[in-house]
A and B are shown apart, each in its own frame.
Chain A
Amino acid sequence: GENVEQHPSTLSVQEGDSAVIKCTYSDSASNYFPWYKQELGKRPQLIIDIRSNVGEKKDQRIAVTLNKTAKHFSLHITETQPEDSAVYFCAAYTGTASKLTFGTGTRLQVTL
């Protein structure tokens, strides 16, 4: 089955700096890669996603890149703000199994 690894597990950046979170996946059949943000005690919220036929996608301060050959994808957050502090999860979707496989999460702390 699919296996998703996520690094780093914790990340501390100063306000205004950039943050990068990296994930690798194992199943070449996975074709959809979303990123979720989860604040303490709240629901995971979809912040950006990318499909396997696209290499990069950007939405304001957030961007995601996908390298299908290497089976890795990354989340980039620029000009970080304190409200970006949360746990971020990457995931990979395998259509044949109808499921998202999540990484173990990255706790991002943006300090003033």
Chain B
Amino acid sequence: ETGVTQSPTHLIKTRGQQVTLRCSSQSGHNTVSWYQQALGQGPQFIFQYYREEENGRGNFPPRFSGLQFPNYSSELNVNALELDDSALYLCASSPPGGSREKLFFGSGTQLSVL
């Protein structure tokens, strides 16, 4: 059984640029959530995708957007990058059948905005 995988592992961008982060969910998991973890903080919920639709969103501006594909993989897109967007971006997948709250995290993408 393959766990949650994310790419790339590290990324450096400059302010104003756009970035796309990718996530492959754990085998059999159909729900994907994205979290932002700033240094020394707990993860903050960005949004969740289920059946290719956004199924909940945290307190993040519209320049944070996402997609889920038919194979349940997902992308997180961030436009007009700001310095404060520097963080670890974690993807988590959840199994079907009423256990959507049970999150299994990937290792994350460390984004640095200069």
Contact (A42, B107) CB under 8 Å given A34-B102, A99-B33, A99-B48: yes
Contact B105 A100, beta carbon cutoff 8 Å: no
Give the distance in Å from the alpha carbon of A62 to the alpha carbon of B43 in the complex: 22
B residues with a Cβ closer than 8 A to A are: 4, 33, 35, 40-45, 48, 50, 55-56, 58, 90, 100-108
Contact A97 B56 (CB under 8 A): yes
Distance, CA A43 to CA B108, complexed state (A): 7
A102 touches B55 (CB 8 A): no
**Binary flags per residue of A9-46, CB closer than 8 Å to B gives 1, else 0:** 00000000000000000000000101010000011111
Provided the pairs A89-B42, A99-B56 are in contact, do residues A44 and B101 lie with their beta carbons within 8 angstroms? Answer: no
Task: Name the interface residues of A45-100: CB closer than 8 Å to any CB of B.
Answer: 45-46, 49, 89, 91, 93, 95, 97-100
Residues of B within 8 A of A100 (CB): 33, 35, 43, 45, 101, 103
Contact of B90 among A44, A98, A104, A105 (CB under 8 A): A44
Q: What residue in chain A is nearest B3 (Cβ atoms)? A: A43
* B103 A46 Cβ-Cβ under 8 A: yes
Instruction: Identify the A interface with B (CB < 8 A).
Output: 4, 6, 32, 34, 36, 42-46, 49, 89, 91, 93, 95, 97-105
Q: Given A43-B106, A45-B105, are A101 and B45 neighbors across the interface (CB < 8 Å)?
A: yes
